[in-house]
């Protein structure tokens, strides 16, 4: 099984600021990461997890670190899992940009347009399948909201009549069968978070 996880909350995430690569988790995000680790450690007791892989952006690494430590596994870093690169917009508040940076035809200065981003996620998906195929047991991949969006749009079978979420929750877990057609058995699940922790994360995660 593939377990696809979105990173925990950051201060920029909560304040609606386009994030820079080194943005760390905030206190709430660290609590979410600890709850995620407890949830997946329980999963490991019935379905062993053989590897933990994270994007090279700091918020994803920090989300994955408590889990890797709990399972006694090395943390594997995979840059292809990184969030969409918004280039010169990183570090700026959404409200001050003055346009919808998610528009289909928008290309951020010195960043990735949608087509470029989706092609990179295609390569990430190939890497996910390669790593999972080389590992005994389930695999965890800690990534970002727009990567989850792209995977669900182009590579995962969500089920007949099932639409992908409007918002991918912080530390949400999506379960995917590790064979074609890559059916999801659980989508965007945040059951490990209590209500106070679960409310308030933002969809974009960038």
Active site residues: 7, 83
CA distance 196 to 104: 34
> Would you say 182 and 7 are in contact if contact means Cβ atoms under 8 Å apart?
no
**Residues sharing a CB contact under 8 Å with residue 187, sequence separation 6 or more, in sequence order:** 152, 158, 162, 164, 165, 174, 175
**Helix (H) and strand (E) counts in the chain:** 7, 6
**Residues sharing a CB contact under 8 Å with residue 29, sequence separation 6 or more, in sequence order:** 7, 8, 9, 10, 13, 59, 62, 63, 170
Residue 174 exposure: Cα atoms within 13 Å on the Cβ side = 30
């Amino acid at each position: 099984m593939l377990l696809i996880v979105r990173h925990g909350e950051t201060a920029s995430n909560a304040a609606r600021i386009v994030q820079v690569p080194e943005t760390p988790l905030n206190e709430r995000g660290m609590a979410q990461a600890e709850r995620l680790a407890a949830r997946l450690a329980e999963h490991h007791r019935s379905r062993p997890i053989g590897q933990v892989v994270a994007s090279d952006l700091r918020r994803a690494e920090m989300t994955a670190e408590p889990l890797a430590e709990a399972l006694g596994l090395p943390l594997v870093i995979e840059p292809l899992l990184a969030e969409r690169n918004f280039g010169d917009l990183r570090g700026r508040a959404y409200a001050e940009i003055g346009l919808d940076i998610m528009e289909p035809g928008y290309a951020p200065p010195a960043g990735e347009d949608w087509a470029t981003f989706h092609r990179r996620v295609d390569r990430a998906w190939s890497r996910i399948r390669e790593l999972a195929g080389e590992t005994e047991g389930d695999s965890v991949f800690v990534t970002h909201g727009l990567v989850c969006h792209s995977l669900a749009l182009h590579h995962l079978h969500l089920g007949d009549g099932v639409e992908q979420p409007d918002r991918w929750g912080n530390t949400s877990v999506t379960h995917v069968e590790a064979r074609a057609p890559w059916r999801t058995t659980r989508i965007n699940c945040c059951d490990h978070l209590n209500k106070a922790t679960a409310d308030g994360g933002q969809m974009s995660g960038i």
